[in-house]
Amino acid sequence: MNIALIAHDIKKKDMIHFTRAYKYILEKHNLYATGTTGMKIMEATGLIVERFQSGPLGGDQEIGAMIAKNKMDVVIFFRDPLTAQPHEPDISALMRLCDVYSVPLATNMGTAEIIIRGLERGDLNWRSIISGQQVK
């Protein structure tokens, strides 16, 4: 499955902890991330991550384009809900696309853990029917 990993600056440490903890699950999938988040994940875990631009420079929109083409199966987006983001319209559009295309979206650690455990059990294999991918 194709998994997007995004984290605002204040949440990047959480994303590193999350990807370290669930490396054994994530390494079985195709990982995508916005710029700095992807770099930090690769450095901390050794996972292979295809990186897009940083969020404010269009990375959120690049991931959104994959969602709109049914090429993204899960989005894990550790957002900072307490700080205004200059690219807030892009963030809202990304989250809206997840709803439109029924892409599971986690915006915090608790939901991300539920989704990653579901992924491990095969609960999200229905996405492979929608996207036309083979389940690994």
Domain assignment of residue 84, given as a range = 2-115
pLDDT tens-place string over residues 54-83? 877 888 899 999 999 999 999 999 998 888
16: in domain = yes
Residue 126 lies in a domain: no
Whether residue 131 lies inside any domain: the answer is no
The packing angle between helices 35-45 and 12-21, to 10°, is: 40
Catalytic residue among 60, 80, 90, 99: 60
Do the bridges between strand 74-78 and strand 49-51 make them parallel or antiparallel, or are there none, so unpaired? unpaired
Whether 122 maps to a domain, the answer reads no
pLDDT at 86 exceeding the cut of 90: no
Residue 135, pLDDT > 60, answer: no
Query: Is 133 a member of any domain?
Result: no
What single string gives the DSSP state of each residue in the chain?
A: -EEEEEE-GGGHHHHHHHHHHTHHHHTTSEEEE-HHHHHHHHHHH---EEE---GGGTHHHHHHHHHHTT---EEEEE--TTS--TTHHHHHHHHHHHHHTT--EE-SHHHHHHHHHHHHHTTTTHHHHHHTPPP-
Query: Which CATH number characterizes residue 96's domain?
Result: 3.40.50.1380
Would residue 60 show up in a list of annotated catalytic residues for this protein? yes
6-46 pLDDT per residue, tens: 999 999 999 999 999 999 999 999 999 999 999 999 999 99
* Number of domains the chain contains: 1
- Whether residue 134 lies inside any domain: the answer is no
Residue 136 has pLDDT above 60, yes or no: no
Please give the single-letter amino acid code of residue 91: I
Task: Specify the pTM.
Answer: 0.91
96-118 tens-digit pLDDT: 999 999 999 999 999 999 999 99
Partner residues linked to 51 by β-bridges? 33
Residue 46 resides in a domain: yes
